[in-house]
A and B are shown apart, each in its own frame.
Chain A
């Protein structure tokens, strides 16, 4: 074995540093590290309007991330959006009368699905569908409602309107 040239160490260190930087960028500045494809189960929810919700958006309870949105599809018969969410296995005691709503994090932030737990003693299981949903807040609709009604009336103060009710009059 001939002695290793001195630049070999420098080259090795440089390559290691480059890959370390790549690993740092991939794990620390993207959401790759947040996706735990460990044990999870899926829940479904139907929304009249999902706004800007995208696949891989977080699913939260009380602001804590418990899973993410797996897929979003339009259901042809009912013409509403079927959102499939994968939830961490450790959060398997979500009451089956919980409601799902689409919120925006901050003014410019991304949209996420927020679950509000109910009080039922039975829990949601794998593949269950959540019945109570609330669509994404649409500013256009809000403005339209405001203009039509001439001011805010205490119309929608309840926390979770049923999904079957169509969104209020401003819908185009």
Chain B
């Protein structure tokens, strides 16, 4: 019984990965059709992006501040506090900006998208759309997917800018590092191509992954209140795992 159950469980996991991949292809196929629902896409960018600004900016500020504080302590052991600006900027652009933004968006917007689509499914709204010859993939799934891809890199940029601001606040204003050293070392080391754009590519991929998982979980949620609740939880869990795994793989390829 155990072996059978486990095999079932593993098979189900593999099958759901396959379902997600097929769903991804279907969403991509529905993208051209969803062009005429661009207002819906615009509304989703507002919901995923603009409404996440407050949490992203606050977290960016605090991440930058704590980064400066921790790195100042570490660098002072080696007498290298002049490199604080460089290290804060590189950690933010290359790693923390894309990853933390993606985790925040998965928690704030991904869950809402899953619950919304799950309830649409539970109340037969998706079937009603099909009856009216409105493709729910083009009207519901694709705009939300596209909105995630558009909003995530912009949010990551805002996060990075706030992080730099927070790092400057702690390093220069509080700990008394020289302003010119902070910026000068940063600008001479940070590269647009290698650091900022690499981080941006990462966050574009994370945007796609997070919104794909959120839409997929909502789309396949069992039409019960319990099913929607579980799907919402799974969105956060799967998103976080996939974000961190993709982060490792992409970093390994990029460096």
Q: What residues of chain A have their CB less than 8 Å away from a CB belonging to chain B?
A: 5, 7-8, 10-11, 13-15, 17-19, 21-22, 24-26, 28-34, 58, 105-110
- Report B198-241 residues with CB < 8 Å from chain A CB: 200
Please tell me if the beta carbons of B154 and A18 are within 8 angstroms of each other in the complex: yes
Please tell me if the beta carbons of B49 and A18 are within 8 angstroms of each other in the complex: yes
Neighbouring A residues of B151 by C-beta, 8 Å: 14, 18
Q: Which of B43, B53, B160, B183 contacts A25 (CB 8 A)?
A: B160
Contacts known (A31-B187, A108-B80); A17 close to B196, Cβ less than 8 A? no
Docked CA distance A22–B157 (Å): 5
Docked CA distance A33–B39 (Å): 37
Docked CA distance A10–B45 (Å): 9
Docked CA distance A59–B149 (Å): 41
Please tell me if the beta carbons of B43 and A19 are within 8 angstroms of each other in the complex: no
Please tell me if the beta carbons of B192 and A14 are within 8 angstroms of each other in the complex: no
| B26 contacts A by Cβ under 8 Å | no
Please tell me if the beta carbons of A21 and B157 are within 8 angstroms of each other in the complex: yes
Q: What residues of chain B have their CB less than 8 Å away from a CB belonging to chain A?
A: 39, 42-43, 45-47, 49-50, 53, 79-80, 82-83, 89, 93, 150-151, 153-155, 157-158, 160-161, 164, 181, 183, 185-192, 195-196, 200
Q: From residue B95, how far is it (CB to closest CB) to chain A in Å?
A: 15
Please tell me if the beta carbons of A18 and B157 are within 8 angstroms of each other in the complex: yes
Docked CA distance A8–B38 (Å): 11
The number of inter-chain residue pairs (CB within 8 angstroms) is 99
Docked CA distance A11–B48 (Å): 10
Please tell me if the beta carbons of B50 and A13 are within 8 angstroms of each other in the complex: yes
Contacts known (A25-B93, A25-B160); A14 close to B188, Cβ less than 8 A? no
Neighbouring A residues of B155 by C-beta, 8 Å: 18
Docked CA distance A109–B154 (Å): 31
Neighbouring A residues of B46 by C-beta, 8 Å: 7-8, 10-11, 14
Please tell me if the beta carbons of A30 and B154 are within 8 angstroms of each other in the complex: no
Q: From residue A17, how far is it (CB to closest CB) to chain B in Å?
A: 6
Q: Which of B43, B50, B183, B187 contacts A5 (CB 8 A)?
A: B43
Q: From residue B157, how far is it (CB to closest CB) to chain A in Å?
A: 4
Please tell me if the beta carbons of A21 and B188 are within 8 angstroms of each other in the complex: no
Q: Which of A15, A18, A29 contacts B187 (CB 8 A)?
A: A29
Beta-carbon nearest neighbor of A31 in chain B: B187
Q: Which of B45, B164, B190 contacts A14 (CB 8 A)?
A: B45
Contacts known (A25-B157, A29-B186); A11 close to B192, Cβ less than 8 A? no
Q: Which of A10, A17, A31, A33 contacts B158 (CB 8 A)?
A: A17
Neighbouring A residues of B89 by C-beta, 8 Å: 29
Task: In the A-B complex, list the 7 residue pairs whose CB atoms are closest, starting with the nearest.
Answer: A18-B154, A14-B50, A21-B157, A7-B46, A21-B161, A11-B46, A22-B157
Docked CA distance A26–B160 (Å): 11
Please tell me if the beta carbons of A8 and B42 are within 8 angstroms of each other in the complex: yes
Beta-carbon nearest neighbor of B181 in chain A: A106
Please tell me if the beta carbons of B80 and A107 are within 8 angstroms of each other in the complex: yes
Docked CA distance A25–B187 (Å): 10
Neighbouring B residues of A109 by C-beta, 8 Å: 82, 185, 188
Beta-carbon nearest neighbor of B53 in chain A: A14
13 A–B pairs (Cβ distance < 8 Å), ordered by A: A14-B154, A15-B49, A15-B150, A25-B93, A28-B183, A29-B164, A30-B196, A31-B188, A33-B187, A105-B188, A106-B181, A108-B82, A109-B82
Q: Which of B82, B164, B195 contacts A106 (CB 8 A)?
A: B82
With most chain A CB atoms within 10 A of its CB, the pick from B46, B49, B53, B185 is B46
Q: From residue A74, how far is it (CB to closest CB) to chain B in Å?
A: 23
Q: Which of A10, A30, A32, A108 contacts B83 (CB 8 A)?
A: A108
Q: From residue A129, how far is it (CB to closest CB) to chain B in Å?
A: 26
Docked CA distance A124–B233 (Å): 69
Neighbouring A residues of B154 by C-beta, 8 Å: 14-15, 17-19, 21-22
